[in-house]
Amino acid sequence: MLQGLKNKLNFSEKNNEELDSNLPYGMPPEEVSKPYPRPIQIMANAIFYVWNNILLQPFLRSWSFLAARTSLTFWIIVGMAVGILIGHFAPDAGVQLKPLGDAFIRMITIIETPLIFSTLVVGIAGHGDDVGKVGRLAVKTIIYFEVVTTFALAVGLIMANLIKPGQGVVLFGDTSQVEGMAEQEASITWYGEMEMIIPKNFFVAATNNQILGVVFCAAMFSCAMMKADKKSKEFMLRINDSMSMIMFKFVALIMNYAPIGIGAALAAAVGKNGVDILANLGKLIGSLYASLAIFVILILIPIMFMTRVPIFGFFKAVAQPWLIAFSSASSESALPKAMEKMRAFGCPNSLTAFVIPCGYSFNLDGTTLYLALASIFAAQAGNINLPLATQLSIMGTLMLSSKGVAAIPRASLLILAGTVTQYNLPYEAIPMIMGVDAIMDMGRTSINVFGNCLGCCVMSRIEGSFRGMEWREEEIDRRRLQLIEQERHQRQNDGLSEEVSFDGHGNAEKFEHQELDDVVVVHDGRADSVNSIEITPAPSNKHH
């Protein structure tokens, strides 16, 4: 009997050892949760294994693979598509995502003042001591902007008379939403423009995001630096150069969030407005987008031909800032990327940092076209036949009152309300237009950015600096820093510690043996391909 009991105990211990050896991940018995039976624990570990090794890790690896091989433009388009789907099928959820879209615009707004100020100071003061050159550039830039915006107003006026988007529209809406807009518009005068150009305090202009005031202060500061002694000038140049480099790194970090922020903004816009509102105002929306397309084809592209701006290269360079402006309906969000792309395309810093910010006040092509179209729409919706002289008078009023509107929230609606009141047009058209303003804002804002980028290229051609010597020197420095960063990153991955050394022409001087294939150097529009660059080890007794 005792022998039989002993055999049973041995059998039980053997079974326990087998069960312990079968625990997932080799877990000892004491680590198994006591409240749960072993089959449940095994099932939980199996589920975790499937989730982590079969679902999560492959997804993360695929995401990393795509992120490394697709551009920001691709992810912005994906974000736009997801945002539209959320706004259409789950409108309440889409509206709740609006703070995520606002966060993206706020992050861009944070860096606008230091970015514009530092790049403009380096661009003007860092390339000579000719103060008169700055004044001549300002005059030429404003003349060009006035000519192009006049064409934009003319296109809007002609298209409104041809398509007649206001015919058949039934006016409705509560005008209490727009009461007082006309009085606010009256405050937008030349005196007010002068106050925005010359602020009482630089920090007030910076905190209120008055771009024109920041540009004026930066230009005056640059002129003062030109007159200062060499030591003081070089000291301030180093500070502003470092600031501009850091700001562009800041932009790169923010752009990683762009697909999420833009998708959230679109989800909120679609969720709030829906598609039902398009039934009554679809013709107005279609007229605006058709007019913008015609403006680009008949006005802007011929300007590219006349000034010898590479058309396909320009469209490629402006694609990202245009897409950011279109999807976020904010020209501010596209400003840093527009400046970066135009610098890389061939415009020197001195022009890019001056022309593009000025364009935000004087070259709102899409907005001026929209104002002309919307004013005639209001008259047509009220069955008012405006004579040609009155339409030309409206055009002149809009030409004067639309300058500097970027610094005023919802300024285009303020200008439109004042124009409608001044010419006794039906006020009920304003709240109707407000209902679809978000949809039209995307189109006109993107053309504003497109026109400003083109203006930068045109002024570079007029000044003879498009891909000229000044830009080449800047490009060598930019590519040198880019190669240093890439090489440093590669060496960190390889576990190496030596630093990179480059000569004054952007070529690697000394390093351990490595080849950089297919390096392209641009000289005045021509791309010279260098098959390989030999990088040799640095002697051990030298430090770089």
pLDDT higher than 80, residue 144: yes
Secondary structure letter of residue 177 according to DSSP: G
Rg (CA), the chain: 31
| Residue 450 pLDDT | 94
Question: Quick one: average pLDDT of 212-226?
Answer: 83
Contact 317, 356 (CB under 8 A): no
Give the whole-angstrom CA distance, residue 295 versus residue 289.
10
pLDDT higher than 60, residue 482: yes
Tell which residue, 311, 368, 336, has the closest CA to residue 150.
Answer: 368
Give the whole-angstrom CA distance, residue 86 versus residue 81.
9
Residues 358 and 497 reside in one and the same domain: no
Residues 194 and 154 reside in one and the same domain: yes
Residues 481 and 430 reside in one and the same domain: no
Alpha helices, DSSP H, located in 50-172 = 57-69, 72-89, 91-96, 98-125, 131-163
**Of 66-70, 393-397, 514-518, where does the model show the most confidence?**
393-397
Q: For residue 374, give the CATH number of its domain.
A: 1.10.3860.10
Beta bridge partners of 532: 517
Tell which residue, 400, 374, 494, 392, has the closest CA to residue 149.
Answer: 400
pLDDT tens digits along 326-339: 887 777 778 888 98
Residues 504 and 423 reside in one and the same domain: no
| Residue 288 pLDDT | 92
Cα torsion 498, 501, 506, 507: sign: negative
Contact 237, 125 (CB under 8 A): yes
- CB-side neighbour CA atoms (13 Å) of 282: 7
pLDDT tens digits along 404-461: 555 444 567 767 877 777 788 887 777 777 767 778 888 898 999 999 999 999 999 9
Q: Is residue 57 part of a domain?
A: no
| Residue 456 pLDDT | 92
| Averaged confidence pLDDT in the chain | 74
Residues 404 and 477 reside in one and the same domain: no
Give the whole-angstrom CA distance, residue 202 versus residue 199.
6
Reported in sequence order, the residue ranges of 228-267 that DSSP labels E, i.e. its strands, are none
Q: Is residue 388 part of a domain?
A: yes
pLDDT higher than 60, residue 387: yes
Residues 362 and 414 reside in one and the same domain: yes
Residues 381 and 510 reside in one and the same domain: no
pLDDT tens digits along 87-134: 888 888 888 888 888 888 788 778 778 887 887 787 777 656 666 777
| Residue 5 pLDDT | 44
* Full 3-state SS string of 484-514: HHHHHHHHHHHCCCCCCEECCCCCEEECCCE
Question: Quick one: average pLDDT of 382-408?
Answer: 75
Q: Is residue 240 part of a domain?
A: no
User: What is the DSSP track for 274-334?
Assistant: TTTTHHHHHHHHHHHHHHHHHHIIIIIHHHHHHHT--HHHHHHHHHHHHHHHHHHT-HHHH
At residue 386, what is the residue type?
A: L
Of the residues 436, 465, 494, which one is the last residue of a structural domain?
465
Domain count, the chain: 2
pLDDT bucket at 280, cuts 50 / 70 / 90: low
Our CA dihedral for 258, 261, 262, 266, rounded to 10 degrees, sits at 170
pLDDT tens digits along 343-358: 889 888 878 888 888 8
**Of 105-119, 285-299, 373-387, 402-416, where does the model show the most confidence?**
285-299
| Residue 196 pLDDT | 67
| Residue 110 pLDDT | 81
Of the residues 411, 439, 465, which one is the last residue of a structural domain?
465
Quote the percentage of the chain above a pLDDT of 70.
71
**Of 9-13, 183-187, 413-417, 505-509, where does the model show the most confidence?**
413-417
| Residue 66 pLDDT | 63
| Residue 81 pLDDT | 82
Contact 152, 366 (CB under 8 A): yes
Secondary structure letter of residue 208 according to DSSP: T
| Residue 168 pLDDT | 72
Residues 499 and 396 reside in one and the same domain: no
How far CA 31 is from CA of 18, 26, 35, 78, 481, in Å, comes to 16, 10, 12, 45, 53
Query: What is the extent of the structural domain holding 508?
Result: 473-535
Give the whole-angstrom CA distance, residue 467 versus residue 380.
48
Residues 382 and 513 reside in one and the same domain: no
Of the residues 465, 484, 499, which one is the last residue of a structural domain?
465
Give the whole-angstrom CA distance, residue 270 versus residue 23.
52
| Residue 504 pLDDT | 45
Q: Which tokens in the block code for residue 54? A: 């079969």
pLDDT higher than 50, residue 500: no
Give the whole-angstrom CA distance, residue 322 versus residue 451.
10
Three-class DSSP category at 519: strand
Q: Is residue 117 part of a domain?
A: no
H-run or E-run covering 268 = helix 258-273
Tell which residue, 362, 272, 223, 276, has the closest CA to residue 91.
Answer: 272
Contact 506, 527 (CB under 8 A): no
Q: Is residue 446 part of a domain?
A: yes
Residues 191 and 289 reside in one and the same domain: yes
Q: Is residue 369 part of a domain?
A: yes
| Residue 279 pLDDT | 57
Q: Is residue 295 part of a domain?
A: yes
Tell which residue, 5, 60, 67, 151, has the closest CA to residue 454.
Answer: 151
Give the whole-angstrom CA distance, residue 372 versus residue 320.
28
Give the whole-angstrom CA distance, residue 401 versus residue 200.
22
Residues 341 and 375 reside in one and the same domain: yes
H-run or E-run covering 125 = helix 98-125
pLDDT bucket at 516, cuts 50 / 70 / 90: very low
pLDDT bucket at 189, cuts 50 / 70 / 90: low
Q: Is residue 363 part of a domain?
A: yes
| Residue 361 pLDDT | 74
| Residue 485 pLDDT | 75
Residues 390 and 500 reside in one and the same domain: no
